[in-house]
Structure 1
Amino acid sequence: MQFKDFPYTRPDYKTYEKNFKQALETLTKAQSPEEAVHAITTINVLRSQVDTMANIALIRYSVNTEDKFYEGEDTYWNEYSPLFDALDATYYSELLASSFQEELRAVFPATIFLIAEGKKRLFDEAIIPLQQKENQLVSAYSKLVASAQISFQEGIYTLSQLIPFLQSSDRSVRKAAEAARFGYFAEHEDKFDDIYDQMVHVRTEIAHKLGFKDYVDYSYVAMNRWGYDRTMVETYRKNILQDVVPVVDKLDARQKERLGLDNLYSYDLDFTFPSGNPKPQGTPEELVENARQMYHQLSKETGEFFDFMVENGLLDLLSKRGKQSGGYCTYIMNEEAPFIFANFNGTSGDVDVLTHEAGHAFQCYQSRWIKEPEIIFPNNEAAEIHSMSMEFITYPYMDKFFGDETNKHKFNHLSSAVKFLPYGVLVDHFQQVVYENPDWSPKERKDAWRKLEKMYQPGKDYSENPDLERGLFWMKQGHIFESPFYYIDYTLAQVCAFQFWQRFNVSKDENAWKDYMAICQVGGSQTFMEILETGHLTSPFEDGAMTGIIENISNYLSSISEDQLK
């Protein structure tokens, strides 16, 4: 069935609540392990139906925020999802209280019980109104970003559609495009400030009501960060400063020399080669067909998966008016169908986002055996290993998209991945200091961002853009508003994905595909640390893990001569 034909029906909360509580009572009063297992299975069927409808509504609204029906459904889910979550919390509590713990743990994945312990700690009916308000604020931010209609060079563009101009070979165009892009944030600065200020206070109030010191501590529980803590993350950030920032400085210096510039300004950073950045060749339809061929050549499993995605209309890739920005993959539980959302704009990012989100989608497709909606995806830091690794696994097929510019693409992609690490931990560090100081003024937040930016990205020169110089850049980072603290996960996964880069493209490890398949197939039934063991990957927190792989990548990039990049 095509996605456009997937039926959507808004769940009736009262009916759902009645059925849910009946199944929960069966679990509470179960006289045997079999009866308890049956009750849990019934509850998961009910929860999967709600999860399915929520994701269909999310997709259809994000594809077109001007659709009045799904705008109404977005409002419904903002209001009712905390109520559904509250029912889930009662289930988790009863699951942990069951007298058949040993038998249940032999049937259901251990991560379910870890999630239950966290959810139990995070639930209190008193926070439901606060969660509803938070949802409304997230929607307000998304709509404000999606509604951008920016006049530029005799055209009207969304924020996503402006990105190609930031990679123009004409420096004046790059400068003007950056000014136009962040001019939108400056023009609506008060709105962005107000939305975020309310978010910080609402989230802090949620944390305090639940007995946490601050929203940072709350988030570590909410993000299911099992096996590592705040102190380990702070040490990891210091390792990024020590091992990665100097490599990024060298790459920036090389870029400046390659471009023949006296100064590398912020608007120059996305322009890598004098002959122009590599662009995918062909129409969006041709890119999808090339991807289909690539995945058939890569493996039987990926070929079957991508055919399923195309044949069932599970890709929405073009940027258009009213569409939310960014890209994501989600999973429609009852249809056993991943869905990929992206905003193609004619840059190499089109291929990057397609391979990245396909990594997520392929993992879901391989994890369809899982019937618990909360563990189709693993935790974020593990989930991003699948997506970021897929970007590297597909390197041998990049000529399908870039032709004679393939070497340029690989160099740019790999060096950009290295450059991302300091930015990724910057976003995390910024959020930590914000939520440690929830009463900061908007100006103090911007000052903090700029101070940290100078530490993690010392090469960024904003001297020709006063809006960015005073700390506006973070406003474009949707995760800060929509998914707080979901960002350092990308960097942890990137360090792991670099290991797959080496195994697939350098050492030609014959077990690499087997290990990648293995981590896709376990979904969220294992913790981050367990998934690393399954994939024979070194933990980013281990001494020397960062140093070795970054050194190998730096040496590899240094071995590519400038003549090869013309």
Structure 2
Amino acid sequence: MKFKDYPYEHLDEKELHARFEQIEAELKDAGDYKAFYEAFQKLDRLDRHIQTMSSLCNVRHTIDTKDEFYTKENDHYDHILPLVQNDMVQAVKTIWASPFFEELKKDVPETYFLQKEMDMKAFDEKIIEDMQEENKLASAYQALIASADVEFDGQHYSLAGLEVKMNDANRDVRKAATKAYWGWFEDHEKELGDLYDQMVKVRTKMARKLGFDNYIPLGYLRMKRLDYDQNDVANYRKQVFEDVVPFANKLYARQQKRLGYDDLHVWDEKIEFLTGNPKPKYDRPEMVKRALTMYKELDPETGKFFTFMTDHDLLDLDSYPGKAAGGYCTFFPDYESPFIFANFNQTSHDAEVLTHEAGHAFQVYCSKDIVPSDCVWPTLESCEIHSMSMEFFTYPWMKTFFEDDVNKYYFNHLSGAVKFLPYGVLVDHYQHEVYAHPEMTPEERMATWRTLEKQYLPHKNYDEIPVLERGGWWMRQLHIFMDPFYYIDYTLAQVCALQFWARIQAKDEQAFEDYKKICRLGGTLPFRGIVKEAGLKVPFDDGSLKEVMRKVDDWFASADESAF
């Protein structure tokens, strides 16, 4: 069955509530463990069905934000998902109070219980209306970004579509395109600032209703930080500042020298080479075809997985008007199907979609049979290990996409992985400041971003783009609006992925076997446990960045830039 034929069912809130009540009664009335576990499995099947329908709705809505039916259904989920969460929390409380609770621990991964304990701490009926409002605001941000129509050089572009011009080899073209891109954000600066202000306030209100001083501890609970806390994250940010920022600055200086410019402006940052950045040589259908060959050659398991994805049309990759920005991987539990959503833009990003998002999809494909469904996916920082590491494991096949530009791609990709780390911790640090001081005005938040930006990204040159000099870059970062505190995850995973890269460089044949192992583990272990099972060092540990950065430094020291 193709994705377009996957049945969708409208979920009625009263019917769902009745099904939860019935299952809760069965959990309470169970006379023995067998009956109790059957009710537990029934709860899990209902959860899987709700996940499937809400994910189908989200995918079809983001594929076409102008589709009236799925827009209404999306609004419907904004309303009912907090109610569903309330019903789920009540059922979980019943499980916790059951005489069979201890026996259940023998059959269910520990992470299930850790997650549910966090869910109970992070939820109460009194915040349902606030959660509904939060969902509406997130949908409003997504719709606003998707509605962007930027006129440039006589044509109309979405924000994602305009990025191809911002990567143009011609400096004048990318300068003009960059100004047009940020001109849209400047035109909508007040609207975006007010929207985020409302989000911060409603999240702070929820936190205070639950007894927290501010949103930060609630945000950590909602992000399922199972085995680390704010102190671990702060120490990790400190390591990035000390061990990565200086090296990233050297890379920017090398880039400026390589380009031969007096200054590296914001419109130059995406360009690594005067001859142009590496671009895939093929269109989307041919790239998918080559990706299928790549995954068949990489490993029998990855070959089987990607064949499934292509046979069922589980990739929507083209960029077009009305399609939501960004890219993601999701999962439909009822159909045991991952799905990849992206916006191809004729840059190296397109190849990375077929590795990064495919890494997510491969992991969930490997762990799809884990029960309960809460443990199919790991927590998000662990999820990103699978995606970012797959980018490195597929290096030997990048020539099939980039041909003679493949060495450019390696240089560009590894450089980008390093340069990303300071930006990623900047996004995290910014959010800690915002939620620690929710009384800040939109203008003060802009200034806060710019202050932190000068700390982590001191090379930034925003000449001629005043909205960025005021601190406006954060407005383009979807995660800040829609998924608070979901960004440090990418950097933690990147450090792990770089360790896999170092093992690949050392021709460690066990590396991919360890990778497949953690994909099969899904979410049955917390972050630190997954990292150790992969044979990697935990990024929070002192010195973990120094070692891998030395190996990266060695690679760049031997790279022959004159060949580019």
- The secondary structure found in structure 1 opposite 2:342 is strand
Letter in 2 for 1:516: Y
| Per-residue CA distance 1:104-131 (angstroms, 9 max, x = gap) | 0111111111111111111211100000
Letter in 1 for 2:441: S
Letter in 2 for 1:391: E
| Cα distance in 2 for residues equivalent to 1:116 and 1:283 | 45
Q: Which residue of 2 is the match for residue 213 of structure 1? A: 213
| Cα distance in 2 for residues equivalent to 1:464 and 1:190 | 20
Q: How does 1:167-316 map to 2 (within 5 A)?
A: 167-316=167-316
Q: Which residue of 2 is the match for residue 29 of structure 1? A: 29
Say whether 1:541 aligns with 2:540. yes
Q: Which residue of 2 is the match for residue 332 of structure 1? A: 332
Letter in 2 for 1:255: Q
Letter in 1 for 2:226: W
| Cα distance in 1 for residues equivalent to 2:54 and 2:140 | 18
| Cα distance in 1 for residues equivalent to 2:473 and 2:375 | 34
Q: How does 1:1-400 map to 2 (within 5 A)?
A: 1-400=1-400
| Cα distance in 2 for residues equivalent to 1:257 and 1:59 | 43
Q: Is the 8 A contact 1:377 1:383 kept in 2?
A: yes
Cα distance, 1:93 vs structure 2? 1.3
- The secondary structure found in structure 2 opposite 1:89 is helix
Cα distance, 1:296 vs structure 2? 0.4
Cα distance, 1:497 vs structure 2? 0.5
| Per-residue CA distance 1:16-45 (angstroms, 9 max, x = gap) | 211221111111222221121111001111
Letter in 2 for 1:542: D
Letter in 2 for 1:388: M
- The secondary structure found in structure 2 opposite 1:340 is strand
Cα distance, 1:375 vs structure 2? 2.3
| Cα distance in 2 for residues equivalent to 1:155 and 1:85 | 45
Q: Is the 8 A contact 1:256 1:262 kept in 2?
A: yes
- The secondary structure found in structure 2 opposite 1:343 is coil
| Cα distance in 1 for residues equivalent to 2:476 and 2:374 | 28
| Cα distance in 2 for residues equivalent to 1:448 and 1:368 | 42
RMSD: 0.9
Structure 1 residues without counterparts, runs of 5 or longer: none
Q: Is the 8 A contact 1:51 1:373 kept in 2?
A: no
Q: Which residue of 2 is the match for residue 517 of structure 1? A: 516
| Cα distance in 2 for residues equivalent to 1:535 and 1:94 | 36
| Cα distance in 1 for residues equivalent to 2:529 and 2:99 | 27
User: Relative to structure 2, which stretch is displaced further, 373-382 or 331-340?
Assistant: 373-382
- The secondary structure found in structure 2 opposite 1:331 is strand
| Per-residue CA distance 1:412-444 (angstroms, 9 max, x = gap) | 000100000000000000000001111111100
| Cα distance in 2 for residues equivalent to 1:80 and 1:16 | 10
Letter in 2 for 1:379: T
| Per-residue CA distance 1:314-370 (angstroms, 9 max, x = gap) | 000000100010100000010000000000010001011221000000000001112
| Cα distance in 1 for residues equivalent to 2:442 and 2:45 | 45
Q: Is the 8 A contact 2:20 2:88 kept in 1?
A: no
Normalising to structure 1: TM-score of the pair?
A: 0.99
Q: Which residue of 1 is the match for residue 557 of structure 2? A: 558
| Cα distance in 2 for residues equivalent to 1:116 and 1:29 | 21
| Cα distance in 2 for residues equivalent to 1:317 and 1:436 | 38
Q: Is the 8 A contact 1:192 1:475 kept in 2?
A: yes
| Cα distance in 1 for residues equivalent to 2:4 and 2:167 | 34
| Cα distance in 2 for residues equivalent to 1:534 and 1:32 | 36
- The secondary structure found in structure 1 opposite 2:320 is coil
| Cα distance in 2 for residues equivalent to 1:207 and 1:426 | 23
Structure 2 residues without counterparts, runs of 5 or longer: none
Q: How does 1:448-459 map to 2 (within 5 A)?
A: 448-459=448-459
| Cα distance in 1 for residues equivalent to 2:36 and 2:214 | 37
| Cα distance in 2 for residues equivalent to 1:407 and 1:2 | 37
| Cα distance in 2 for residues equivalent to 1:48 and 1:294 | 32
Cα distance, 1:63 vs structure 2? 0.4
| Per-residue CA distance 1:68-88 (angstroms, 9 max, x = gap) | 010000110001110111111
Cα distance, 1:166 vs structure 2? 1.2
- The secondary structure found in structure 2 opposite 1:266 is coil
Letter in 1 for 2:532: E
Q: Is the 8 A contact 1:265 1:464 kept in 2?
A: no
| Cα distance in 1 for residues equivalent to 2:307 and 2:226 | 36
| Cα distance in 1 for residues equivalent to 2:501 and 2:91 | 41
| Per-residue CA distance 1:202-229 (angstroms, 9 max, x = gap) | 0000111011121111111111112211
- The secondary structure found in structure 1 opposite 2:317 is strand
| Cα distance in 1 for residues equivalent to 2:465 and 2:161 | 20
Q: Is the 8 A contact 1:150 1:184 kept in 2?
A: yes
Letter in 1 for 2:24: L
Cα distance, 1:143 vs structure 2? 0.3
| Cα distance in 2 for residues equivalent to 1:326 and 1:557 | 30
Q: Which residue of 2 is the match for residue 424 of structure 1? A: 424
Q: Is the 8 A contact 1:248 1:419 kept in 2?
A: yes
Instruction: Report how many aligned residue pairs link the two structures.
Output: 564
| Cα distance in 2 for residues equivalent to 1:177 and 1:555 | 36
| Cα distance in 2 for residues equivalent to 1:371 and 1:332 | 15
Letter in 2 for 1:3: F
| Cα distance in 1 for residues equivalent to 2:556 and 2:349 | 20
Cα distance, 1:464 vs structure 2? 2.4
Letter in 2 for 1:245: V
Cα distance, 1:91 vs structure 2? 1.7
| Per-residue CA distance 1:1-30 (angstroms, 9 max, x = gap) | 100000111112212211221111111222
Letter in 1 for 2:338: P
Letter in 2 for 1:131: M
Q: Which residue of 2 is the match for residue 438 of structure 1? A: 438
Cα distance, 1:458 vs structure 2? 0.3
Normalising to structure 2: TM-score of the pair?
A: 0.99
Amino-acid identity (%): 47
| Cα distance in 2 for residues equivalent to 1:273 and 1:444 | 37
| Per-residue CA distance 1:389-427 (angstroms, 9 max, x = gap) | 000000011000000100000110001000000000000
Q: Is the 8 A contact 2:182 2:467 kept in 1?
A: yes
Q: Is the 8 A contact 2:182 2:465 kept in 1?
A: no
The list of structure 1 runs, each at least 4 consecutive aligned residues, that deviate by more than 4 angstroms after superposition, is none
